[in-house]
């Protein structure tokens, strides 16, 4: 009779207890409370070859000590590894080489499909058609009147610049250089430093709306909506270049795309960002044309009035997210414009604290441009615009709230500017 048979005969319940111990260990593995399968397997083999005294005494002590020590170390190590793995999946490695960026892009978004090629052709054609009226109005006003409206040709305003062809190219060139440089820089930040893409995306989002009007402030062309809309049209082209077909061959486009590629928006990142910008640009174009012709707004004030909405949308909505993440305690559910093939899905959390930032920047924007309003209009603006814009942002779909903010804000400003000047 072997030693194991003798021990089993003396203690028939030992085999059953050993089996229960094995099952308990395997349950611990599933719950993440044990070190590894090999550790449990080796300890069980040791138990089978040991005597009864060591089973009851030394093995229990050593198991407890090794489990506590190894589990804590393995949990910490595996936690760091899981975190690093998640970062790798969302942002890739820190390499800025084109080959590595393209490889990560293919891993994340797959190969270029036939439908994507068709969509690219359709989008390119649509943007080209949108540029036809812009070119027509620019050519129509040349060369007699430059790019100034007729009524401003003899203006005494020293800051007024009537752009000729070369000056227009310089004006537009400044926009292109700044926007491309900023976009590529934000892409490097997102890749190299693995910063939250939500923040780099907000920077480009704000720059997309601010630069066309900001450059006009540096090189003022009073009442010339056409040159402003030309800048928006060029930014549309930059976003179009972010498609798979172009970005995998054109390095700057890849960097700019990585600056807006928020993991939560995948696989609809570019579609959401570009359609939001196009929708906002259409709203801005309509509003500027109405203000110049029917809105009761002085032509010299249109850019400044629009900058009020740009500050609310860019800075208010931009800072709402980080403030909500850090300080938000009172949550409510917001809808996503599109997620996983579904439209208007209630899935994102916003906070009252974050939305209050929109209210704050609405007040700040009105304070900055207070001289555009008469006393009565300014009071009504302070009482109405901040609260209405706050609720508009709160109920607008995530990633597509800008068109709603511009449309609602423009309607409120138009109504205010139609009111009597006197008290």
The tokens 């537009």 sit on which residue? 172
On the question of a cis peptide bond just before residue 27, with omega within 30 degrees of 0, the verdict is no
The tokens 């970062």 sit on which residue? 87
**How many residues are recorded in the chain?**
423
Q: Is the pLDDT of residue 37 over 80?
A: no
Helix, strand, coil abundance in the chain, percent, nearest 5: 75, 5, 20
The pLDDT of residue 369: 93
**For 109-135, what is each residue's pLDDT tens digit?**
989 888 888 888 988 998 889 888 777
**For 235-284, what is each residue's pLDDT tens digit?**
999 998 999 999 999 999 999 999 999 887 888 888 888 888 989 999 99
Q: Is the pLDDT of residue 226 over 70?
A: yes
Region 214-224 average pLDDT: 68
Region 60-78 average pLDDT: 53
The pLDDT of residue 347: 59
The pLDDT of residue 251: 94
Q: Is the pLDDT of residue 47 over 50?
A: no
What average pLDDT does the structure give for the chain?
74
**CB neighbourhood size of 183 (10 A):** 27
Q: Quote the CA–CA distance of 397 and 178 in Å, as a whole number.
A: 29
- The single-letter DSSP state of residue 335 is E
**For 309-359, what is each residue's pLDDT tens digit?**
999 998 887 787 778 777 767 776 666 655 555 655 555 667 888 888 999
The pLDDT of residue 140: 59
The confidence band for 71, taking pLDDT boundaries of 50, 70 and 90, is low
The pLDDT of residue 69: 52
Is residue 223 within 8 A of residue 216, CB to CB? The reply is no
Region 175-193 average pLDDT: 92
The pLDDT of residue 221: 54
Question: Global pTM?
Answer: 0.69
Distances (CA, A) of 196 to 52, 121, 199, 243, 325: 58, 32, 6, 22, 12
Which residue(s) pair with 350 in the sheet? 332
């Amino acid at each position: 009779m072997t030693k194991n048979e003798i021990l089993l005969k003396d203690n028939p319940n030992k085999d059953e207890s050993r089996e229960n111990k094995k099952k308990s260990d395997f349950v611990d593995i599933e719950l993440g409370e044990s070190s590894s399968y090999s550790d449990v397997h080796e300890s069980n083999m040791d138990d089978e070859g040991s005597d009864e005294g060591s089973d009851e005494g030394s093995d229990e002590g050593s198991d407890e000590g090794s489990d506590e020590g190894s589990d804590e170390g393995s949990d910490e190590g595996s936690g760091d590894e899981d975190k690093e793995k998640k970062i790798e999946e969302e942002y890739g490695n820190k390499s800025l080489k084109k080959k590595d960026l393209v490889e990560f892009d293919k891993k994340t978004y797959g190969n270029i499909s036939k439908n994507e090629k068709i969509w690219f052709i359709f989008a390119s054609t649509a943007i080209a058609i949108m540029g036809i009226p812009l070119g027509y109005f620019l050519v129509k006003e040349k060369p007699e009147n430059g790019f100034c409206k007729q009524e401003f040709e003899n203006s005494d305003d020293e800051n007024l610049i009537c752009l000729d062809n070369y000056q227009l190219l310089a004006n537009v060139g400044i926009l292109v250089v700044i926007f491309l440089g900023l976009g590529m820089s934000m892409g490097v930040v997102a890749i190299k430093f693995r910063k939250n893409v939500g923040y780099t995306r907000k920077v480009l989002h704000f720059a997309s709306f601010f630069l066309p009007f900001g450059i006009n402030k540096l090189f003022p062309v009073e009442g010339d909506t056409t040159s402003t809309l030309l800048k928006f049209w060029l930014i549309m082209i930059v976003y179009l270049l972010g498609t798979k077909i172009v970005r995998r061959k054109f390095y700057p486009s890849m960097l700019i795309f990585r600056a807006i590629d928020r993991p939560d928006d995948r696989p609809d990142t570019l579609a959401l960002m570009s359609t939001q910008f196009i929708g906002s640009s259409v709203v801005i174009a309509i509003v500027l044309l109405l203000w110049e012709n029917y809105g009761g707004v002085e032509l010299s004030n249109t850019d400044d009035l629009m900058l009020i909405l740009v500050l609310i949308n860019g800075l208010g909505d931009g800072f709402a997210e980080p403030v909500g993440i850090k300080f938000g305690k009172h949550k409510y559910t917001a809808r996503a414009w599109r997620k996983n093939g579904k439209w208007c899905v209630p899935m994102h959390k916003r906070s009252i604290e974050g939305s209050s930032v929109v209210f704050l920047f609405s007040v700040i924007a009105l304070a900055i441009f207070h001289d555009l309003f008469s006393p009565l209009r300014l009071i009504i603006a302070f009482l109405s615009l901040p609260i209405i814009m706050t609720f508009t942002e709160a109920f607008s779909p995530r990633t597509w709230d800008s068109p709603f903010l511009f449309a609602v804000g423009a309607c409120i400003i138009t109504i205010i500017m139609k009111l009597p000047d006197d008290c």
